[in-house]
Amino acid sequence: MSQTKGFILVVDDEKDITLLTKQFLELENYNIISANNGKEALQIMEERYLEISLVLLDIMMPQISGFDVLKKIKAIEKYNDILIVLFSVKNFQLDIQKAKELGADGYLPKTISGKTLLDYIKKILDTKK
C-alpha cells in the first residue's frame, strides 16, 4: 500500500451512523471520510480515490442507493483496488446475493457490534496488503 492510502469512506444517509462510525474508527487510528448520500460519496471518490482503501456503504439511501453507488464504482477501472463493503439494516440473503453479483467485496449487517466491525475491517484491509 502506498503512503497516502488507508482512508475509509463511510457512506450513510443517517448522520448519526456516519458520526458514530467515524468516532469509533478514529479511536483505532483509522482515517475516516464520511458522506451522507450517494452523490456526495461519488464526488469524494472522484477527488480522493488515491487515498481511499475501503468504502463502507449503506444500501438504503434516498435518490442513489448503495447498490447504485456500488455499480458506478465497479464500472470505473481506476477504482478497482478499492474495497467496497455494503452495510445494511437488513440481513436478507437476497441483499447479500445482489451485493455479490454487483461485485461487492463484503457485506455487513448494521446490527454487528463495534468490535466485530473493527475485526472485520482489520481483516479485509490485511487481505489487500
Task: Name the grid cell of 119.
Answer: 475485526
Contact letters for Mg ion, residues 10-49 (x by CB under 5 A): ---x------------------------------------
Query: For the CA atoms of 91, 84, 75, 49, what is the dihedral angle to 10 degrees?
Result: 150
Q: Which of 36-44, 54-62, 97-105, 112-120 is the region at the interface with Mg ion (rule: CB under 5 A)?
A: 54-62
Q: Calculate ∠ Cα 65-52-49, nearest 5°.
A: 80
Q: Which of 56-64, 69-77, 97-105, 115-123 is the region at the interface with Mg ion (rule: CB under 5 A)?
A: 56-64
- 12 and 60 in contact (C-beta within 8 Å)? no
Residue ranges that bind Mg ion, judged by CB under 5 A: 13, 58, 60-61
